[in-house]
Amino acid sequence: MALGLLVAGAVVATLIARHRWWLPPLASLQGRPVDRLFLVTLAIISAAFMLVQGLLALFVWLYRDRGQRASYWHEHRALELTYTIVPAVVMTGLTVAAAGLWARIHSAPPPGALVVEVRAEQFGWKARYPGPDGRFGRIDPRLFSPRQNPFALDPADPAGQDDLVLDISTSAALHLVVNRPVEVRLRAKDVVHSFFVPAFRVKQDAVPGMVTRTWFTPSRTGTYEIACAELCGPLHYIMRGRIVVQTQEEFDAWLAAQVRP
Amino acid sequence: MAHALPHLDARTVGELSFWRRYIFSQDHKVIGIQYALTSMAMAVLGGVLALFIRLQLGWPGRSWPLLGRLFPGGMPEGQMSQAFYLAAVTMHGTIMIFFVLTTLLTGGFGNFLIPLMIGARDMAFPFLNMLSYWLYPPAIVILLASFFVSGGAAGGGWTAYPPLSALPQAAPGSGLGQTLWLVALAVLIVAFLFGSLNYITTVLQLRTRGMSMLRLPLTVWALFVTAILSLLAFPVLLAAAIMLLFDRLGGTSFFVPAGLLVGTTPVDHAGGDPLLWQHLFWFLGHPEVYVLILPPMGMVSDILANNARKPIFGYRFMVGSMVAIAFLSFLVWGHHMYTSGMHPLLGTAFMTTTLVIAVPSAIKTFNWLATLWRGKIRFTSAMLFALGFLSLFVTGGLTGIVLAQPPVDIYFHDTFFVVAHFHFVMASAAIFAAFAGTYYWFPKMFGRMLDERLGRWHFWLTFAGIYATFFPMHYAGFMGMMRRIYSPQLYAHLQGLAPLNVFVSLAAFVLFAAQSIFLYNFFRSLFRGPRAERNPWGATTLEWTAPSPPPHGNWGPALPVVQRWAYEYSPPNAAQDFLPQTAPAAVPVGREPGALGGDGERRR
What ipTM was reported for this prediction?
0.96
B471 CB within 8 Å of a chain A CB: yes
Burial B553-568 (b: 16+ CB within 10 A, else e): bbbeeebbbbbbbbbb
- C-alpha to C-alpha distance for A23 and A27, rounded to whole angstroms: 11
What's the pLDDT at A5? 74
Largest CA distance in chain A: 92
Tell if the CB–CB gap between A103 and B172 is shorter than 8 Å.
Answer: no
Tell me what percent of the residues of chain B surpass a pLDDT of 90. 89
Average pLDDT over residues B405-432: 96
Which residue, among A231, A121, A6, has the nearest Cα to B413 in the 3D structure? Answer: A231
Average pLDDT, chain B: 93
What's the pLDDT at A1? 60
Q: How many CB atoms lie under 10 A from the CB of residue B35?
A: 26
What's the pLDDT at B603? 38
User: Does residue A243 contact residue A130 with C-beta atoms inside 8 Å?
Assistant: no
- C-alpha to C-alpha distance for B182 and A139, rounded to whole angstroms: 34
Tell if the CB–CB gap between A84 and B362 is shorter than 8 Å.
Answer: yes
Residues of A in contact with B162 (CB under 8 A): 191-192
Tell me what percent of the residues of chain B surpass a pLDDT of 70. 94
In total, the C-beta contacts within 8 angstroms joining chain A to chain B are 318
Q: How many CB atoms lie under 10 A from the CB of residue B460?
A: 14
What's the pLDDT at B588? 55
A194 CB within 8 Å of a chain B CB: yes
User: Does residue B427 contact residue B47 with C-beta atoms inside 8 Å?
Assistant: no
Nearest to A98 among B273, B351, B387 (CB): B351
pLDDT in tens, B171-229: 999 999 999 999 999 999 999 999 999 999 999 999 999 999 999 999 999 999 999 99
- C-alpha to C-alpha distance for A205 and A188, rounded to whole angstroms: 9
Nearest to B275 among A22, A207, A230 (CB): A207
Angle at A59 between CA A53 and CA A62, to 5 degrees: 140
Cα→Cα distances B270→A191, A233, B80, B117, Å: 14, 22, 36, 53
What's the pLDDT at B14? 59
Tell if the CB–CB gap between A59 and B258 is shorter than 8 Å.
Answer: no
pTM for the predicted model, two decimal places: 0.94
What's the pLDDT at A58? 94
- C-alpha to C-alpha distance for A256 and A162, rounded to whole angstroms: 12
Instruction: Find all residues with CB under 8 Å of B402, minimum gap 6, and list them.
Output: A38, A41, A42, A45, B408, B409, B412, B417, B421
Beta bridge partners of A224: A243
Output B573 or B24, whichever has higher pLDDT. B24
B25 CB within 8 Å of a chain A CB: no
CA torsion angle B275 B278 B281 B283 (round to 10): -90
User: Confidence band (pLDDT; 50, 70, 90) for A9?
Assistant: confident
User: Confidence band (pLDDT; 50, 70, 90) for A258?
Assistant: confident
- C-alpha to C-alpha distance for B55 and B307, rounded to whole angstroms: 39
B460 CB within 8 Å of a chain A CB: yes
DSSP string, B317-362: HHHHHHHHHHHHGGG-GGGG-TTTTS-HHHHHHHHHHHHHHHHHHH
Nearest to B377 among A60, A75, A194 (CB): A60
Burial A233-242 (b: 16+ CB within 10 A, else e): bbebbbbbbb
**Structural element, H or E, at residue B429:** helix B429-446
pLDDT in tens, A214-254: 999 999 999 999 999 999 999 999 999 999 999 999 999 99
Is the previous residue joined to A123 through a cis bond, with omega within 30 degrees of 0? Answer: yes
The Cβ-side half-sphere exposure at B432, using a 13 Å CA radius, reads 33
Whether pLDDT at A260 is above 90? no
User: Does residue B151 contact residue B173 with C-beta atoms inside 8 Å?
Assistant: yes
Tell if the CB–CB gap between A235 and B496 is shorter than 8 Å.
Answer: no
Query: Residue A154, SS3?
Result: coil
Which residue, among B375, B389, B383, B535, has the nearest Cα to B455 in the 3D structure? Answer: B383
Whether pLDDT at A19 is above 90? no
Chain B nearest-CA residue for A199: B493
What's the pLDDT at B200? 98
